[in-house]
Copies of this chain bind each other. A is one copy, B any other.
Amino acid sequence: MARPALTEDEISDFRERLCEVATRRFVEFGDAGVSLRGLALELGCSPTTPYRYFRDKDEILAAVRARAFDRLAHFAAPFAGPDGDPLSQLEALGFAYLRFAREEPHAYRMAFELSQPEASAYPELLQSRQKAWQMIYRAVRRAVVAGALAGDANVVSHLFWAGMHGLAALHLGGQLESLPIEKLQKPMVRALLRGALPSVGPTTGDTPDA
């Protein structure tokens, strides 16, 4: 004899719609656009309505970030597949990663720069990040098991990710003025891959000369 609670679908629908609006407003107005009142204005609801669907604003940001990671994973997926020469595929994946950062800078910034000290408290976010991360890891591991790269796949893939992210972060931070990222991405990918070529030597440097 009472009003029924919200369906699981209704909840996820509202959350999805709010995340889309938040993303668009982030692109248009920056950080200032994702205020609860700003979102409510565009959603046509009260500023406190989202509190029934999210615990607080941090959970909203985590959901938005998770969707940004999802798009990154989706963007990189075609180049992480099991077909083609492993090294060429890995190189293409690096280019795709940086193309995503260039073409969807807002998504990349939301994924990596939205300040969230306690990001590990949101399983959805961790899972989406893991999904994006595995695009890189699988491609690297495939090259390793195929003998095209040497060293620990976990180490090499982390190096690969860090190199790509370093370029993307400096680019998006406007710190690459004298040299555009287009001139740096190929040398970076090549350097990181060459550093793990089996003919050159293992990546876990144990040559005692430091």
Residues of A in contact with B (beta carbons under 8 Å apart): 30-31, 88, 91-92, 112-113, 115, 117, 119-120, 129, 151, 154-155, 158-159, 161-167, 169-170, 173-176, 178-179, 183-184, 186-188, 190-192, 194-196, 200, 203-205, 209-210
Contacts and interface: CB of A to CB of B under 8 A. Distances in A.
24 contacts: A91-B210, A113-B115, A119-B173, A129-B175, A151-B187, A154-B179, A155-B179, A155-B187, A158-B176, A161-B166, A161-B170, A162-B167, A162-B169, A162-B170, A163-B163, A165-B166, A166-B167, A186-B205, A187-B195, A190-B203, A191-B192, A191-B203, A192-B192, A192-B195
Q: How many copies does the complex hold?
A: 2
A200 to B, nearest CB: 7
A184 B155 contact: yes
Contacts of A30: 117
Given A162-B167, A165-B169, 8 more contacts: A31-B115, A158-B179, A165-B170, A187-B204, A190-B195, A191-B191, A191-B196, A192-B192
Given A31-B115, A164-B166, A159 B191 contact: yes
A91 to B, nearest CB: 6
Contacts of A187: 151, 155, 159, 195, 203-205
